[in-house]
């Protein structure tokens, strides 16, 4: 499979990525066991299909180790000179508290070692408590490590617009990773316009609602808690409840199915395409259950069609019936604080 040229995005002047990022949260243990050898083998299939960009974190179980093993096997198979084809974006998610140069450098050193790199492509920083302003010290030391060549670019994860502004005045930030889907459009209230004005890209996660945004759930009764057997399904079912409930979600799925049939794609394809077309969005992160299930060919169809004004009007008519998640939850990332 060869992806269309539109699948590539100039994330920064020196870094081009695939607009569909392979999300590695699902190897963390919250979605069932992942067999390491099978996972690494399947990473080659993703890469060969053009899905070359990986999103992971220090706390996603063995995710950083998987990247390190994949890189070593890739170099043995194709030569070290081709390792630049792989983009791996990790995160640092420290517990709030005093931040020293040693604390920050040690944490980054662990990621460098696990991933088998001398420089991280993108380090995405998350902070749990805005009242603890030690996050500004952490970012200062991260910027120092960037200047020393250990970090290529700095991004954020789940920061709201206000605090993104505070940080952007001090440190060059290239991206913010936020929840963004056809039902959770909070980034459009403040975040997207700020990012466009400051040349900051959005990386969207939760776009497929943990798998709920699919044909599998169209026409089905509302699932009971025991049926929601992964952390993602539980999380995004709660989001659907806040947004408008299962009955309205069924209306949305029906419209998305109609649109998908028109373009000969899937509901998931339509959901991803909808977010890829939003302002400031560089890419959408799609979870990869490596060695367990994969949708490489299906996901590739995202780059083979476009939503027209009629499609968007039908979708917007359903979304107009929903609740305002910004009023209920707040800005991007506020659900974590």
What percent of the chain is predicted at pLDDT more than 90?
90
Give the separation between CA 38 and CA 36, rounded to whole angstroms.
Answer: 6
Give the separation between CA 70 and CA 116, rounded to whole angstroms.
Answer: 10
Return the closest-CA partner of residue 262 out of 251, 253, 271, 270.
Answer: 270
Supply the pLDDT for residue 305: 97
Give the separation between CA 140 and CA 224, rounded to whole angstroms.
Answer: 46
Q: Which residues of 184-214 are buried (b: 16+ CB within 10 A; e: fewer)?
A: bbbbeebbbebbeeeebbbbbbbbbbbbbbb
Spatial contact of 80 and 106, defined as CB atoms under 8 Å apart: no
Spatial contact of 275 and 219, defined as CB atoms under 8 Å apart: no
Evaluate if residue 293 carries a pLDDT over 90: no
Model confidence pLDDT, tens digit, residues 312-335: 999 999 999 999 999 999 999 999
When pLDDT is cut at 50, 70 and 90, the band that residue 292 belongs to is: low
Supply the pLDDT for residue 295: 84
What percent of the chain is predicted at pLDDT more than 70?
98
Supply the pLDDT for residue 226: 87
* pLDDT, the chain, mean: 95
What top-level class would CATH report for the domain 7-211+267-303? alpha beta
Domain positions in the chain are: 7-211+267-303
Evaluate if residue 34 carries a pLDDT over 80: no
| Token pair in block for residue 248 | 């309205």
β-strand pairing of 20-23 with 201-205 = unpaired
Minimum mean pLDDT range among 15-29, 69-83, 115-129: 15-29
Supply the pLDDT for residue 32: 67
**Whole-model pTM above 0.85?**
yes
Supply the pLDDT for residue 58: 95
Angle between helices 309-319 and 267-276 (to 10 degrees): 100
């Amino acid at each position: 499979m060869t992806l269309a040229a539109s699948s590539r995005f100039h994330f920064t002047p020196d870094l081009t990525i695939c607009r569909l990022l392979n999300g590695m949260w699902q190897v963390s243990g919250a979605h069932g066991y992942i067999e390491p050898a099978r996972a690494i083998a399947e990473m080659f299939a993703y890469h060969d299909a053009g899905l070359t960009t990986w999103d992971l974190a220090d706390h996603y179980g063995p995710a950083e180790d998987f990247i390190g093993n994949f890189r070593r096997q890739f170099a043995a198979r194709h030569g070290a000179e081709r390792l630049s084809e792989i983009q791996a974006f990790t995160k640092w998610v420290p517990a709030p508290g005093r931040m020293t140069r040693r604390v920050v450098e040690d944490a980054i050193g662990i990621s460098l070692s696990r991933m088998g790199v001398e420089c991280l492509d993108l380090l995405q920083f998350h902070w749990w408590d805005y009242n603890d302003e030690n996050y500004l010290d952490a970012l200062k030391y991260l910027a120092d490590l960037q200047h020393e060549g250990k970090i290529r670019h700095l991004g954020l994860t789940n920061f709201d617009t206000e605090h993104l502004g505070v940080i952007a005045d001090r440190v060059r930030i290239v991206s913010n990773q936020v929840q963004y889907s056809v039902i959770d459009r909070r980034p459009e209230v403040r975040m997207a316009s700020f990012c466009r004005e400051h040349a900051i890209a959005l990386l969207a996660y939760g776009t497929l609602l943990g798998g709920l945004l699919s044909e599998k759930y169209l026409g089905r009764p509302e699932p009971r808690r025991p049926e929601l057997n992964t952390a993602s399904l539980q999380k995004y079912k709660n989001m659907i409840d806040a947004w408008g409930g299962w009955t309205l979600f069924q209306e949305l799925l029906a419209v998305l199915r109609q649109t998908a049939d028109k373009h000969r794609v899937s509901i998931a394809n339509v959901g991803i395409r909808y977010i890829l077309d939003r302002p400031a969005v560089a890419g959408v992160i799609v979870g990869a259950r490596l060695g367990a299930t994969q949708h490489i060919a299906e996901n590739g169809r995202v780059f083979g069609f476009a939503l027209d004004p009629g499609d968007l009007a039908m979708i917007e008519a359903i979304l107009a019936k929903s609740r305002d998640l910004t009023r209920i939850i707040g800005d991007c990332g506020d659900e974590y604080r």
